Chains A and B, each alone.
Chain A
Amino acid sequence: MTQFIIKLLDYKWLTMVIIIAISAFFILEMKENTRMETNLDKYMPHDHPAFIYSDSAESWFGIQDGIIIAIENKNGIYNTETLDTLKKLTKRFQKFDEIQKSDVTSLYTADNIVGTEDGMDVKAFFKRVPKTADKLDNLQNNVRNNEMIFGRLVSTDETVTVIIAEIGDDVFTQKFYNEILETAEASETDDIKIYVAGRPIVEGTMALLGPADMKKMVPIVILIIFVVLFITLRSFKGTLITLGVVFFSTIWTFGLMAITGIPVYAVSTMIPVMLIAIGVADGIHLYSHLQVFINHFPNATRRQATIDMIKHMWKPVAMTSVTTAVGFISLLTSQVYPVKYFGLFTAFGVMMAMVFSLVFLPAAIMLFGLPKAKPVNLEEDKEGHSHSKLANNFASWIIKYKYVSILGSALIVVASLIGMQEIWINSSFLEKFEKESDIVQTDKFINEHFGGTSTLNLILDANGTKDAFKQPEVLRLVDKMQKDVNGQLQVVGNTFSLADYINRMNKVMNADKEEFNTIPDSKEMIAQYLLLYEMSGDPENLNKVVDYNYEKANITFQLKSDNSKAMDATLAIIHNYEDDFKKLGITLNYAGSGYKGLVFTDLILEGQIMSLVLSLILIIVLISAMFKNIKIGFIASVPIILTAMISFGIMGFLGIPLNTTTALLSSIAIGIGIDYAVHFLEQYRTNAANTDDKMVAAQKTMAHSGRAIIYNAIVVIAGFLVLMFSVFPPNRELGALVSLNMFTSLIGTLTIMMVLLYVSNVYFKKKTK
């Protein structure tokens, strides 16, 4: 292998030309074929049972996410100007290509069904906008008396009214979003304010904002890494060449993605994060070795220096890359395709970074020359065995106070375990935004005035028993459950089901007397009310709450928050009714995007924990095999286990929830952490072979690998801390956690791992005997 790589040095020009040509080809491919996948629905595993059921339920009942357009007039909405705006906006939204006309609901489209002395009256609230005070008062009274409208389409303080436009999963685009905002803004006046909210808006904004923010931040990250790398390497050429490794591996990875037609998902934006970390690591370790060599032999030729570097370093570079890649391959066990692709392509990128480090980097050194030598002063007392005084002191100090490291690690493990108890999973989209951002404020405003911007759909299924939902006992139980959930939970603002229609019809047919706002006793009565509703109201409305054969029903819970705690609390109360429903032959299922988000997040985490454990086992086995020593495998795993634990522990203490981004970071932490460990271990093994003194090996390793590891960590941490200034909170979390992980891996490797290595006596047993 060594010979092969050295042989390649003879073809340095050819190597360069080939790499640049292939990269150019990939860049062209990327321009042609790269597409971003911002539609969150495409991320979902549609063959999962929960998703299959939810998707079919969505088609049975036409369950869709709604865009909410709220019209506020602080002086009250019952005036000609506000109602005219409502009518015009309703009509405008009905005309959008992306929106089905019948999916737009507002006070203008709603039916008012009221009981009279001798019968029933079905009327639109208004067709022509009322102009006289009389007519406006009349409208106000009609709304107040209709509990299916009051508090749902008009706020109870009568200053806000909403238009709800339901849209399909795949119609949201930047253009559509802009058009909605423009339409809304154009209707604003001094008195009338218009707010736009709802899950499609939140999802859409997030899908657009996250990558847009990344695009802005990445150049700054690269600039900072460039500067810090230059300071550590003290070589402009070295910095450029190292970043060249990162650049080419990123191009090849995304180029391959473009060629295979796999879209760039939001999680894929983390691939460069990993490639920066590994590319910089390889570069620093190689240059670090090179620097030590030319410092000792200032007169060495380019070829001599490069060959020495390859001889000593190709193994650790290959070992770190292979272990890291294997760690990422374990993500293939995930059920979520974007995560699978993330694992696969990161592994590919890491392997490419290895190839470029061993082929491009030496070729570039041959072409552009060596860094300047800083001759070692052999006279100075280094207080130890390596050329660096600082490294000698640090290594002996750590080993002298080894129990500090051991005890400290134990304490950290305990503290992390406590912190991890506090960890919670959050599938909320809204909580990814700043509290002061428009989108969060608008959502808060609408939640203050209405039932809630988030929905959970409970699907009751009588498993083929026709007319089950005409049975009074079934509807009574539904009604009871709705009132229970609504009464117990602040966060649930509204509930809606077939029972509401029956209650309303019973009241209306009994001269609007409140005591008849109940489910009647006979099945026939319910069937006849339903027929009457079909004949007089819009039968489409019923299709949203019950299926054609009355064997499945959809109950909608409106929540004032999309976070997982709110959803879980609601599910817990519903769960209490499971047995009662079972006795009636009815099973409970769930649907809707909120619920799918919850399942999706659980799936990601479940898969993540699985693949973490798997990658840990694979890495231990691989390292044990590489070093032909099982003890080394376990010692190497200590810093990464600590890193993962601290990461989760701190998230628990700080209340940072686990979500798709933060969960995937643990894979990156392991990938980076194992790099540090492998470089250190390989160096230690080499040094141990030349000495009988454990301290000599430790100090030499510290001076060489230790220094490189520290430089590596500083460069990457500095770069990613820049993300802390991002405007998009998930990107800030990413920056903070990558930096934290780098830092703990660094400390773990140089302290507890070295101590364990020292006390375990590996590589010294035979000699001490």
Chain B
Amino acid sequence: MKTTTKLIALAIIMVFGFSAKAQITANEIVEKVYNLPTGEDVTSTLNMTLTNKSGQTRVRKIQQYFKNFGDVEKSIMFFMTPADIKNTSFMNWSYDSDKSDDQWIYLPALKKVKRISSDSKSDYFMGSDFTYDDLGDRKLDADVHKLLREETIDGHACYVVESVSKDEDYMYSKTITWIRKDIFVGMKKEFYDEDSELLKVLTIKKVEKIEGFWVITHSEMKNVQKNHKTTIKLSNIKINTGVSASKFSERMMTRGI
């Protein structure tokens, strides 16, 4: 009797222990995505196409530089086309701490660098359907994650993870992310607004391995409520080429490319 109980108890422990290893938790999945290595610095050319509900488009070509300084990530971008905004540049410093981003803009027609301060991370990036928040990483413990199911999209097996915001005032009540099981890169993400209605759908069209890093090179964000979409394509990607720290300064902003 005693031995039997012990055996059963052991069996239970073993089953639990085993399944804990095989059955990855939602938090572990999200953590893996969060910790996916990116380069220390990235240089790329960004082609951004905005399409409104009537099918009209605005196309912008941007040269961008990014560098990770540890507690701060700095990026600088120069508009190349259209001609009337050529050499307009924008710099963003994003901090690990709760401090809000520092942003500067240089307008060549005004010949002045101006600081932009904004109290909200929900601002849309360059008039696109991406917010600054969508582009950056969201803190792991800001949401409660739950593994909903597993699904295959575009021939890739994925985990489907739901992340519900702990902060009720956050612009998304929840998001649902499809994460590739093999490389832990998100393939699709649905964003739900404060009223839990579907707001936007992000679709990753192409992921490439460049210099040993997985890089999303073609993505599309569609705002289903406004029927507006943004396509971003990256090209000329260079990683860890040792972009100079002095590149990220007000003086460099005024220089153009």
Interface residues of A (CB under 8 A from B): 59-60, 94-95, 100-102, 116, 118-124, 127, 467, 470, 509, 520, 522-525, 527-529, 531-532, 534-536, 538-540, 543, 547-549
Does B90 interact with chain A (Cβ within 8 Å)? yes
Does B240 interact with chain A (Cβ within 8 Å)? no
Told that A60-B54, A119-B115, A467-B84 touch, could you supply 5 new A-B pairs with CB distance under 8 A? A94-B195, A120-B105, A122-B118, A532-B105, A543-B52
Q: Which residues of chain B from 98 to 139 have any CB-CB distance to chain A below 8 Å in the complex?
A: 104-105, 107-110, 112, 114-120, 123-127
The answer to whether A120 and B115 touch across the interface, beta carbons within 8 angstroms, is yes
Does B23 interact with chain A (Cβ within 8 Å)? no
- Please name all residues of chain B whose beta carbon is closer than 8 Å to the beta carbon of A116 when the two chains form the complex: 115, 117
- Please name all residues of chain A whose beta carbon is closer than 8 Å to the beta carbon of B85 when the two chains form the complex: 524, 527-528, 531
A177 to B79, CA, bound (A): 49
Given contacts A122-B117, A467-B84, A535-B90, contact A95 B226 (CB under 8 A): no
- Please name all residues of chain B whose beta carbon is closer than 8 Å to the beta carbon of A524 when the two chains form the complex: 84-85, 108-109
Other-chain contact of A124, B119, B195, B225 (Cβ < 8 Å): B119
The smallest beta-carbon distance between B55 and chain A, in angstroms, is 9
The answer to whether A528 and B107 touch across the interface, beta carbons within 8 angstroms, is yes
A124 to B195, CA, bound (A): 20
The answer to whether A123 and B110 touch across the interface, beta carbons within 8 angstroms, is no
- Please name all residues of chain B whose beta carbon is closer than 8 Å to the beta carbon of A118 when the two chains form the complex: 114-115
The answer to whether A528 and B117 touch across the interface, beta carbons within 8 angstroms, is no
A-B contact pairs, 28 of them (CB 8 A): A100-B225, A101-B193, A116-B115, A116-B117, A119-B105, A119-B114, A120-B117, A123-B119, A123-B120, A124-B119, A127-B169, A467-B84, A509-B107, A509-B114, A524-B108, A527-B82, A527-B84, A528-B84, A528-B108, A531-B127, A532-B116, A534-B124, A535-B90, A535-B105, A536-B118, A548-B52, A548-B57, A549-B56
- Please name all residues of chain B whose beta carbon is closer than 8 Å to the beta carbon of A120 when the two chains form the complex: 105, 114-117
The answer to whether B115 and A470 touch across the interface, beta carbons within 8 angstroms, is no
The answer to whether B126 and A535 touch across the interface, beta carbons within 8 angstroms, is yes
Does B173 interact with chain A (Cβ within 8 Å)? no
The smallest beta-carbon distance between A77 and chain B, in angstroms, is 22
The smallest beta-carbon distance between B57 and chain A, in angstroms, is 7
The answer to whether A523 and B127 touch across the interface, beta carbons within 8 angstroms, is no
- Interface hub of B79, B109, B169 (most chain A Cβ within 10 A): B109
Interface residues of B (CB under 8 A from A): 52, 54, 56-58, 79, 82, 84-85, 88, 90, 104-105, 107-110, 112, 114-120, 123-127, 169, 193, 195, 225-226
- Please name all residues of chain A whose beta carbon is closer than 8 Å to the beta carbon of B115 when the two chains form the complex: 116, 118-120
- What residue of chain A has the Cβ atom nearest to residue B117's Cβ? A121
A166 to B21, CA, bound (A): 54
Interface of A is mostly: helix
- Please name all residues of chain A whose beta carbon is closer than 8 Å to the beta carbon of B107 when the two chains form the complex: 509, 525, 528-529, 532
The smallest beta-carbon distance between B250 and chain A, in angstroms, is 10
The answer to whether A547 and B88 touch across the interface, beta carbons within 8 angstroms, is no
A525 to B105, CA, bound (A): 13
The answer to whether B119 and A522 touch across the interface, beta carbons within 8 angstroms, is no
A169 to B35, CA, bound (A): 50
- Please name all residues of chain A whose beta carbon is closer than 8 Å to the beta carbon of B225 when the two chains form the complex: 100-102
Given contacts A123-B119, A509-B114, A548-B58, contact A528 B109 (CB under 8 A): yes
The smallest beta-carbon distance between B171 and chain A, in angstroms, is 12
The smallest beta-carbon distance between A702 and chain B, in angstroms, is 71
A548 to B79, CA, bound (A): 18
A123 to B123, CA, bound (A): 10
- Interface hub of A59, A116, A532, A538 (most chain B Cβ within 10 A): A532
- Please name all residues of chain A whose beta carbon is closer than 8 Å to the beta carbon of B120 when the two chains form the complex: 123-124
The smallest beta-carbon distance between A554 and chain B, in angstroms, is 14
A100 to B169, CA, bound (A): 19
- Please name all residues of chain A whose beta carbon is closer than 8 Å to the beta carbon of B82 when the two chains form the complex: 527
- What residue of chain A has the Cβ atom nearest to residue B126's Cβ? A535
The smallest beta-carbon distance between A113 and chain B, in angstroms, is 10
- Please name all residues of chain B whose beta carbon is closer than 8 Å to the beta carbon of A531 when the two chains form the complex: 79, 85, 88, 126-127
The answer to whether B116 and A119 touch across the interface, beta carbons within 8 angstroms, is yes
The answer to whether A536 and B84 touch across the interface, beta carbons within 8 angstroms, is no
- Please name all residues of chain A whose beta carbon is closer than 8 Å to the beta carbon of B114 when the two chains form the complex: 118-120, 509
Other-chain contact of A528, B88, B116, B126, B127 (Cβ < 8 Å): B88
User: Nearest 9 A-B pairs (CB), nearest first?
Assistant: A534-B127, A119-B115, A527-B84, A525-B109, A548-B56, A119-B114, A524-B109, A528-B107, A539-B127
A100 to B115, CA, bound (A): 34
A121 to B119, CA, bound (A): 9
- Please name all residues of chain A whose beta carbon is closer than 8 Å to the beta carbon of B56 when the two chains form the complex: 547-549
- What residue of chain A has the Cβ atom nearest to residue B127's Cβ? A534
Other-chain contact of B195, A95, A123, A536 (Cβ < 8 Å): A95
- What residue of chain B has the Cβ atom nearest to residue A524's Cβ? B109
A102 to B227, CA, bound (A): 13
- Please name all residues of chain B whose beta carbon is closer than 8 Å to the beta carbon of A60 when the two chains form the complex: 54
- Please name all residues of chain B whose beta carbon is closer than 8 Å to the beta carbon of A523 when the two chains form the complex: 84
The smallest beta-carbon distance between B77 and chain A, in angstroms, is 11
- What residue of chain B has the Cβ atom nearest to residue A122's Cβ? B118
Given contacts A548-B52, A548-B58, contact A122 B123 (CB under 8 A): yes
- Please name all residues of chain A whose beta carbon is closer than 8 Å to the beta carbon of B109 when the two chains form the complex: 520, 522, 524-525, 527-528
- What residue of chain B has the Cβ atom nearest to residue A535's Cβ? B126
- What residue of chain A has the Cβ atom nearest to residue B120's Cβ? A124
The answer to whether A101 and B195 touch across the interface, beta carbons within 8 angstroms, is yes
The smallest beta-carbon distance between A212 and chain B, in angstroms, is 35
- Please name all residues of chain B whose beta carbon is closer than 8 Å to the beta carbon of A95 when the two chains form the complex: 195
- Please name all residues of chain A whose beta carbon is closer than 8 Å to the beta carbon of B104 when the two chains form the complex: 119
A100 to B227, CA, bound (A): 13
- What residue of chain A has the Cβ atom nearest to residue B51's Cβ? A548
Given contacts A509-B110, A528-B88, contact A536 B226 (CB under 8 A): no
- Please name all residues of chain A whose beta carbon is closer than 8 Å to the beta carbon of B116 when the two chains form the complex: 119-122, 532, 535-536
A60 to B56, CA, bound (A): 11
A520 to B107, CA, bound (A): 13
A665 to B79, CA, bound (A): 65
- Please name all residues of chain B whose beta carbon is closer than 8 Å to the beta carbon of A528 when the two chains form the complex: 84-85, 88, 107-110
A293 to B90, CA, bound (A): 101
- What residue of chain B has the Cβ atom nearest to residue A470's Cβ? B84
The smallest beta-carbon distance between A91 and chain B, in angstroms, is 9
A532 to B115, CA, bound (A): 12
- Please name all residues of chain A whose beta carbon is closer than 8 Å to the beta carbon of B117 when the two chains form the complex: 116, 119-122
- Please name all residues of chain B whose beta carbon is closer than 8 Å to the beta carbon of A549 when the two chains form the complex: 56
- Please name all residues of chain B whose beta carbon is closer than 8 Å to the beta carbon of A100 when the two chains form the complex: 225
The answer to whether B84 and A548 touch across the interface, beta carbons within 8 angstroms, is no
A121 to B104, CA, bound (A): 11
The smallest beta-carbon distance between B110 and chain A, in angstroms, is 6
The smallest beta-carbon distance between A120 and chain B, in angstroms, is 5
A95 to B169, CA, bound (A): 16
A528 to B82, CA, bound (A): 11
The answer to whether B123 and A536 touch across the interface, beta carbons within 8 angstroms, is yes
- What residue of chain B has the Cβ atom nearest to residue A528's Cβ? B107
- Please name all residues of chain B whose beta carbon is closer than 8 Å to the beta carbon of A536 when the two chains form the complex: 116, 118, 123
- Please name all residues of chain B whose beta carbon is closer than 8 Å to the beta carbon of A509 when the two chains form the complex: 107, 110, 112, 114
A470 to B125, CA, bound (A): 22
A60 to B115, CA, bound (A): 33
The smallest beta-carbon distance between B56 and chain A, in angstroms, is 4
- What residue of chain A has the Cβ atom nearest to residue B116's Cβ? A120
The smallest beta-carbon distance between A420 and chain B, in angstroms, is 47
- Please name all residues of chain A whose beta carbon is closer than 8 Å to the beta carbon of B169 when the two chains form the complex: 127
- Interface hub of B52, B56, B57, B84 (most chain A Cβ within 10 A): B84
A529 to B85, CA, bound (A): 9
A127 to B169, CA, bound (A): 10
The smallest beta-carbon distance between B60 and chain A, in angstroms, is 9
The smallest beta-carbon distance between B78 and chain A, in angstroms, is 13
- Please name all residues of chain B whose beta carbon is closer than 8 Å to the beta carbon of A548 when the two chains form the complex: 52, 54, 56-58
A102 to B82, CA, bound (A): 29
- Please name all residues of chain B whose beta carbon is closer than 8 Å to the beta carbon of A121 when the two chains form the complex: 116-118
The smallest beta-carbon distance between A53 and chain B, in angstroms, is 15
The smallest beta-carbon distance between B193 and chain A, in angstroms, is 7
A394 to B44, CA, bound (A): 103
The smallest beta-carbon distance between A467 and chain B, in angstroms, is 7
